[in-house]
Amino acid sequence: MNFFTGLLFKIIDGFFSVVIAAMSIFCPIGKEPPKTPDDFAPVLRFAVCSDVHLSGEDSDPHAERYATFFEDTYVYAEKQAYKNVDAFVVAGDMTGGGRDAEYAKFVSLNEEHLRDGSQLITVLGNHEFIAYRDEDPTVGYAKYKEYMKRDVDTDNVINGYHIVGVSYADDAKTFSGKDKWLREVLNNARSEDSAKPIFVIQHPAPFASIYGSVNWGDPTTGFVYPAYPQVMTFSGHSHYAANDPRSINQTSFTAVGTGCLAASMVNIGYIEGDCDAPGDSGTFWIVEADANGNVRLQLYDAVTHQFFDKNEYYISDITKRSAHYYNWNNLKSLDTTPAFPGGAAASAETDNDGNMILSFPNAESYWGTESYQIELSGAGKFSDIVISNYVRVNDNVMKVNAGKLPNGKYEYKITPVSPYAKTGKALTGSFEYVGLVLK
């Protein structure tokens, strides 16, 4: 990241901070969020994911990941005092393009894995229209209803809690006309119990709510929710890492990003563009609520089959801004400068294709390290900004493919950057590289 790019990053980050600060007035700043009480007793549990992207083919790793969504949630629930999984929720993009084979596979997986006592709640994402949107996007609605046997927008009441699903309009691009229906449903839910959260599922995030919501969000719903502090939205679409603290934000309502079950992405500095996270990745949330409206969110790594420790969020008094600990500026205030462990050093080896693989330990900070600025010089040169492996639990060593470089001595400079743009001290040093000689 050069000087001007870094300056623009700070300007954009500052703009977000000012805007979110205005939206977060009376919310806590510089406060540690509360821990989940030991006596927390759920009466509702659901798991929520997005962006499954099934191909419909017999051999599909996304289908295996979707099976994990069910299997691991049930395993977790069986170990708890409250053993129910009341619902599995998919916030859109179940399919790769809304085609028959993809829907058939989705239905088959649900029939195979969904147990008695668990509901399935879904909404349409943009991928449910892809095969039809250039000619007649309304076919996307017809296909969804044919296979899912339900309406495109639903209000599901489970154990006294509303889980509302709202889909794209049949233009496949907007939520045009959905605001009236949403307000009616939210008014009804609020009239039943104004202190309880109302869970709302949609594919894109409400505009200007969470990480990715400016370039991937929806403005229509973004204008509805501020009147309902009870609302907690779950959305995908951007694929932006759900473990990144910017993927939750409490202002006039609560917004949560689901990331992606298939593969996470990150946008470096908001301006470098979307980048795939390295290696295999995929996440989903397990959401639990007690009888008094308190909610626990736990983010699950579907690759390593573990929870992210930092991403257990306990939310109480959802209608009170003074209890909105998960606002942008508060979480940013907790961020620390990333630092490499003592004695850290980089090394290099060669893969079977003759590429240099640069290895170094992760730098640590409160929220982890989002990215690294890497510079190699000497016998050859390499320069890049790479996403860290913070998208997986306990993946403590970075592996970066630097391409085919000549043998010889190299000097390295590796600079860690936190999710909120705090730049740590660079890891520097040198190594002698002896690669494979490919014939």
User: pLDDT tens across 105-132, in order?
Assistant: 999 999 999 999 999 999 999 999 999 9
Q: Is residue 252 part of a domain?
A: yes
Are 119 and 225 found together in one domain?
A: yes
197 phi, psi to nearest 5 deg: -65, 150
Instruction: Return the number of other C-beta atoms located less than 10 Å from residue 112's C-beta.
Output: 9
Positive or negative, the Cα torsion across 245, 47, 129, 141?
Answer: negative
Instruction: Give the confidence band of 23 by pLDDT, cuts at 50, 70, 90.
Output: low
Q: Is residue 127 part of a domain?
A: yes
Res 268 pLDDT > 90:
no
Tokens of 134: 């250039």
pLDDT digits (tens, 9 = 90+) for 326-366: 999 999 999 999 999 999 999 999 999 999 999 999 999 99
Amino acid in the structure at residue 228: Y
Are 344 and 304 found together in one domain?
A: no
Tokens of 307: 């929870």
Instruction: Give the confidence band of 439 by pLDDT, cuts at 50, 70, 90.
Output: very low
Are 368 and 260 found together in one domain?
A: no
Q: What is the pLDDT of residue 1?
A: 47
The gap from C-alpha 334 to its chain's centroid, in whole angstroms, comes to 20
CA distance 97 to 139: 12
| 3-class secondary-structure state, position 423 | strand
Positive or negative, the Cα torsion across 55, 58, 62, 65?
Answer: positive
Positive or negative, the Cα torsion across 200, 201, 206, 211?
Answer: positive
Q: What is the CATH number of the domain that holds 288?
A: 3.60.21.10
Q: What is the pLDDT of residue 274?
A: 84
Are 163 and 20 found together in one domain?
A: yes
Q: Which of 308, 334, 360 is the last residue of a domain?
A: 334
Q: Is residue 439 part of a domain?
A: no
Q: What is the mean pLDDT of residues 285-302?
A: 98
Q: Are 391 and 341 in contact (CB under 8 A)?
A: no
Using left for φ > 0, alpha for ψ between -120 and 50, and beta otherwise, residue 359 falls in: beta
Q: What is the CATH number of the domain that holds 366?
A: 2.60.40.10
Are 216 and 114 found together in one domain?
A: yes
Q: What is the mean pLDDT of residues 182-191?
A: 98
CA distance 103 to 108: 8
Q: What is the mean pLDDT of residues 30-50?
A: 97
Are 325 and 262 found together in one domain?
A: yes
Q: What is the pLDDT of residue 267?
A: 85
Res 17 pLDDT > 60:
no
Q: What is the pLDDT of residue 27?
A: 82
Instruction: Give the confidence band of 215 by pLDDT, cuts at 50, 70, 90.
Output: confident
> Which residue segment(s) compose the domain that 202 sits in?
11-334
Q: Is residue 5 part of a domain?
A: no
Res 143 pLDDT > 50:
yes
CA distance 273 to 261: 21
In sequence order, what are the residues at sequence separation of 6 or more whose Cβ sits closer than 8 angstroms to the Cβ of residue 135?
Answer: none
- Paired sense of beta strands 248-250 and 347-350, if any: unpaired
Are 175 and 48 found together in one domain?
A: yes
Give the chain's domain count.
2
Res 419 pLDDT > 80:
yes
Res 96 pLDDT > 50:
yes
Q: Is residue 2 part of a domain?
A: no
Q: Which of 303, 334, 365 is the last residue of a domain?
A: 334
Are 186 and 288 found together in one domain?
A: yes
Q: Give the single-character DSSP code of 402.
A: E
Positive or negative, the Cα torsion across 174, 168, 210, 33?
Answer: positive
Q: Is residue 1 part of a domain?
A: no
| 3-class secondary-structure state, position 82 | coil
Are 88 and 229 found together in one domain?
A: yes
Higher pLDDT among residues 7 and 139, named by residue: 139
Q: Which of 265, 300, 334 is the last residue of a domain?
A: 334
Instruction: Give the confidence band of 427 by pLDDT, cuts at 50, 70, 90.
Output: very high
Q: What is the mean pLDDT of residues 7-15?
A: 56
Q: Is residue 138 part of a domain?
A: yes
Average pLDDT, the chain: 93
